[in-house]
Amino acid sequence: MIEKKLLFVCLGNICRSPAAEAVMVEKLKKAGMDARIMCDSAGILGYHAGEKADYRMRNHALQRGYKVTSLSRKVKADVDFDHFDMIIGMDEQNIKDLNLLVRSSADLNKIFRMTDFSSQSAYDHIPDPYYGGSDGFELVLDLLEDACDGLIKYLEKRKQ
């Protein structure tokens, strides 16, 4: 039975949030939690709606064993804040944009920042890799792997 539904959010939903979704799905499978936790991703912008994730993100993720399969879609405030339990932004601007969409304090309480779950403190956001090179995509995956481990621990603790 699905106990928690997570929505990962970035600007375009073609780099960071689809990668976060793919990394989390894989880590949930390894932790035996995939039947309990459901993941999806969306973007603040609908500019890339219907598109596969950026090929660079897909390739870098695949090299680590993560299949990024989701198609881009825009956040739907009226539906997503009802459907999901946690809405997890990748950077400060994503959080600000999500905060503008809330309808209630209950909605507001669903918003988290991906790096809230990080074990490291060097980055307080997942940097946008879109206009950069390979290093940026690798950094995104490093930070997402770490934050997903923390998110799994958080979900396990909340369950007890």
Residues annotated as catalytic are 10, 16, 128
Buried b or exposed e, range 12-49, using 16+ CB within 10 angstroms: bbbbbbbbbbbbbbbbbeebebeeebbbbbbbbbeebe
Nearer to ligand 4NP, 16 or 113 (CB): 16
Window 3-22: contact mask with ligand 4NP (x via CB under 6 A): -------xxxxxxx------
Burial class (CB in 10 A: 0-12, 13-18, 19+), 145: middle
Neighbouring-strand partners of residue 52: 71
Size of the site for ligand 4NP (CB under 6 A): 10
Cβ-closest position to ligand 4NP: 12
Quickly list H helices, the chain.
16-30, 55-63, 77-83, 92-99, 105-108, 134-159
Residue list 89-148, contact with ligand 4NP (CB under 6 A): 128, 130
CB of 152 closer than 8 Å to CB of 28: yes
Rounded to the nearest whole angstrom, what is the least distance from the CB of residue 55 to ligand 4NP in the complex? 12
Rounded to the nearest whole angstrom, what is the least distance from the CB of residue 94 to ligand 4NP in the complex? 8
| Residue 47 touches ligand 4NP, criterion: CB under 6 A | yes
Nearer to ligand 4NP, 10 or 152 (CB): 10
CB atoms within 10 A of CB 5: 15
Nearer to ligand 4NP, 72 or 110 (CB): 72
Residues in touch with ligand 4NP (CB under 6 A): 10-16, 47, 128, 130
